[in-house]
Chain A
Amino acid sequence: MAQSANSSTTHLTKSPTLAALLSLVIPGAGQLYLGARNVALAIFVASVAFIFLIGFTLDNFRAGKIEIGGVETSWLWLLLVAFWLWNVWDAHQRARGKTTTRLFSLGIPILLIYIIAWQVTDPNFARLVTRFSDVQIIFNALIHPDLLTRDTETQAGATTIWVPCSEPPQTAAPEGNSGLPVGVNKICGTVGDTLVMAGQGFHPNTTGNVYWLEYNGTNEVQIRAAGQPVLITTDADGKFTVSFEIPAFAGREGLDPTAPIAQGIQARFTQEVGPLKPSENFQVLVGSIAQDPAPGWMVSLGLRSPTDTVPRFVPGGIFVTIGLGLMATLISIIVAAPLSFFGARNVMARVRGGVIIYYIARGVFNIVRSIDTLIWAIILVTWTGLGAFTGLLALSIHSIASIAKLYSEEVEHTDPGPVEAVTATGGNLLQNIRFAVIPQIIPSFLAYSLLRWDINMRSATVVGFVSAAGIGFYIVESIRKGGYREYAAALWCIAIVVLIVDYLSAYWREQIVKNENKISTEPPKPFYKTRRGIFYTILFALVFVASWNLAQVDLGKLFEPAPTFVSVLSDFATVDLSIPVWEQITRQLLITIFQALLATTLGALVALPFAFLAAKNITGRSARTRWVYYGTRFILSFLRSIEAILYVSIFVFWVGIGAFAGMLALSITTFGLIGKLFSEAVENIEEGSVEALTATGANRLQSIAFAIVPQIVPPFISYAIYQWDINIRLATIIGLAGGGGIGQLFANYVGQLQYHKAGAVILSIVVIVTLMDLASAKIRERLV
């Protein structure tokens, strides 16, 4: 707006023709000549970026490829021409004090970006339908996760038959009936003959199957008709009759009438009996009870005799994960709290040379946190080897940097008044921090730490992908073995644990904000003398020790790096930026960025209607629709409680390895996350304008369109851009599970021991994530 006002005052002195000509030669030059510097820069940068994008994606992804007279080119150049022409027109209009429509200035670039994003990600939505029957096995598994089981009881009866009939036919069936009494209507037969089988004495009203047993009894096959198993059902008296054909399996040994073979037919009923109990898989996931010999101290105290056993809980994968999340959070709080003061400008400005330290600290925080936990884990494996401890280190490093940044910002936002007061009493810098700063920041530090606990818990569920410990590792293993019921069970465990942590973290954060003000006239007892204090200290100690053990903390490992560690590290540091590597990286980065863009768009579009269903002020009010509110909320929470990388395997199975699978996985978590953010935006709308419209006689839909929509569009766009930022971070690792993009390239390079190329990948990730971070913050600032 300022620009147009600006140009309207200068249009008398500047020529529209010259402006247009300048813009024709160099995009943006005319606008620069007219004094609109920001617009000029934006147009110029966009033009250069489009030339590069169209050229690069034509070569690498055949984006928009067409053939004209034997020359291959991209029709996307037409869009660039359109943009160029708009820029000339805009310069001309600007010089006359007018503005041009946003339809072109924003529309053309957005159209171009989405077309390229589509070509780069290579989506194939048809597969979602055509291969749906394949993926049903996973959906079935999700409904029937391998967690609980019952004991089974089998009832069977078998009879025998000759195959084939001899000349002359046999007079008696072969020996060898077993189990409950059953019989067939023939004593011999050939493949394809119809048999009628009858039996009695079974449990009434149950369903079973018929099996053909090979002559030596080692092989068996279930009898089918038209592809489906033949079912037998008993009546109220426990009797049954069933007819079927002799399967081809029976003739495997050749049909020699001179040497008929005795074969068996078995009716088998398997029934679940007894109560539900944890399955073996449950014990691996959650834990089991082992019986250990009584420990020495119990024996010497006379509590147990040496031959006795004591039960011990053997924690499963999910507990290792919980331990990792807790321990990483504790470590990062302890390390980040002091570090954060180096990243706080208001503190460092008081120290000589402190501002330099401030910039260094902030820079390090940002670089470290732009590299995902999983990538840290891959790097750290070269130092401390596989295991839970490496996962802990990776979680802690990423968490320290993230939380230190938040803490620093909080320190910067403290009220300077008390600092001035403490300085006036003669307090020094340290005393100032202790008495004026720390009391102010404790609540927000606690809140951020709880939030980080939630995030760490989620990251801990996937860190096992790399560090080979915890539930992430279990998931990798079960997918490799094709055990989708085990995979489903793990997802359920993760969802339950993450939802609990999510709830606790949010509840405690709310309590901190509320923080009731206790009025007391007595000096408070030191906390170690109150009952609460003692209880929490003991609880904390127990949790700490348990987490320490679960995370297999082994500080010794830090000082015994793998023998190749130094050479690996120097390999990482000597970044390979040769042209072929650079081209590979650019290619994969484009995939990552555009995959994230499409996932954000798709997730946000699908989330849009659900956001209204999950908003308290829309559906949560009347008892009739409240179930919609809670139901939608639950679906959103459930979907976002599972990390995107864990969804990848479903989509890899469904649509095949590649960026499309990764994009779909990202869009699921996007749906969960952005649905929640959107619904909060809907909840925050001002009721007044809705009321005013209702008063004019508008109906519910009209008031949504005219009172709610205008209020929520800016926050929606802002959240969507924020989500794109998050999705780019997630997309950097999605390739580790087959979702395409830069993560896959990184894993390949590390797998091929080409660490100098892997180092270049990390560098590129740091650059792109930081740029996106800055850009998204800038854009959102302007939107709100």
Chain B
Amino acid sequence: MLRVEHLTKVFPNGTVALKDVTFQVPDGEFLAVIGLSGSGKSTLLRCINRLIEPTSGRIIWNDVDITALSQTEMRNVRRQIGFIFQQFNLVKRSTVITNVLTGRLGYVGTAQSLAHYFSKQDTERALNNLERLGLKEKAYVRADSLSGGQQQRVAIARALMQEPKMILADEPVASLDPVLSHSILKYLELLNKEDQLTVLCSLHFLDLVHRYATHAIALKDGQVVFQGLPQEIDDAQFKAIYGQDAQRVSII
């Protein structure tokens, strides 16, 4: 169970990105976070694993107050939370398998990892994860030779190396075309159903939300304006979230 209570983030330049955000995510849920660009989706997801330090409020995950942890303790929590980025954030010049193995860094000792020494089990685990994402034959290829969709699958494999209990995905398909969007979200759905991972995923397109999410929250100007089932987002709700001029569109 993830509980976010009265979360507020004010950036040093005075921008209020999140204002008193409160919601709950039971284990095993696929929660879609929707809202316009700049509504605070990315900030919210980054606050949960404290890539961004929240200004006030609490984040409680499995009865641990994440906001109160020291940097060292935070590392231990972070390795249980996978993070998928819109821009994939792979090290483009490194091989695919090295990128996947970086997902293991929270578990291995610093000295050992600096020498690029990973155990046989870790390497096997990396290959298995790549196989699961259909990329086993690309293991020793440089990451920048892959297509966008393949790169995002490598990023998912990297997150899986953490043996996460929860996955945060920040616009994972915004840089991909519609067909690839479905393939990536299917993998996330698979992880959610097979591995019982909690997934928090920010999305742009409402039909993707309907198709994959079990719950949804909507942010507008840093505040929660909707909380409930995806099917409950009617036209009135839609206009409230996206503004009066918005039109519903669907992808494929």
Contact = CB atoms under 8 A, between A and B. Distances in A.
Interface residues of B, number: 44
A428 B105 CA distance: 8
B148 interface: no
Contacts of B49: 424
A556 interface: no
A520 interface: yes
B16 interface: no
A425 B89 CA distance: 12
A598 interface: no
Interface in A433-448: 434-436, 439-440, 442-443
A426 B162 contact: yes
Interface string B76-107: 10110111010111111111011000111111
Contact of A418 (B78, B90, B139, B159): B90
Interface in B125-168: 137-142, 144-145, 155, 158-159, 161-162
A417 B89 contact: yes
B53 to A, nearest CB: 12
Interface string A255-282: 0000000000000000000000000000
A420 interface: yes
Nearest to A414: B91
Contacts of B107: 426
A417 B113 CA distance: 20
Contacts of B89: 417-418, 420-421
A425 B85 contact: no
Nearest to A517: B145
B51 interface: yes
Nearest to B109: A431
Contacts of B140: 520-524
Given A434-B114, A436-B91, A440-B93, A421 B106 contact: no
A593 to B, nearest CB: 42
Interface residues of A, number: 28
A768 B138 CA distance: 55
B182 interface: no
B14 to A, nearest CB: 20
A181 to B, nearest CB: 84
- Which secondary structure characterizes the binding site on chain A? helix
Contacts of B155: 421
Contact of B142 (A443, A517, A523): A517
A762 B184 CA distance: 62
Interface string A509-526: 000000001111111100
B79 A425 contact: yes
Contacts of A442: 93
Nearest to B81: A424
B110 interface: yes
B79 A426 contact: yes
Contact of A426 (B76, B88, B114, B137): B76
Contacts of B161: 425
Contact of B102 (A425, A519, A521, A523): A425
A417 B76 CA distance: 21
B163 to A, nearest CB: 11
A519 B143 CA distance: 11
Contacts of A208: none
A162 B230 CA distance: 130
A422 interface: yes
Given A418-B90, A434-B113, A427 B85 contact: no
A364 B107 CA distance: 38
Interface in A520-537: 520-524
Given A428-B110, A520-B140, A523-B139, A421 B158 contact: yes
A421 B113 contact: no
Interface of A: 417-418, 420-428, 430-431, 434-436, 439-440, 442-443, 517-524
Which 5 residue pairs across A and B have the least CB separation, nearest first? Answer: A426-B106, A426-B79, A417-B89, A424-B83, A421-B89
6 contacts: A424-B51, A424-B78, A430-B110, A431-B113, A436-B91, A439-B93
Given A420-B85, A520-B140, A522-B140, 10 more contacts: A418-B91, A420-B89, A421-B83, A421-B102, A424-B81, A426-B76, A426-B79, A435-B94, A521-B137, A523-B97
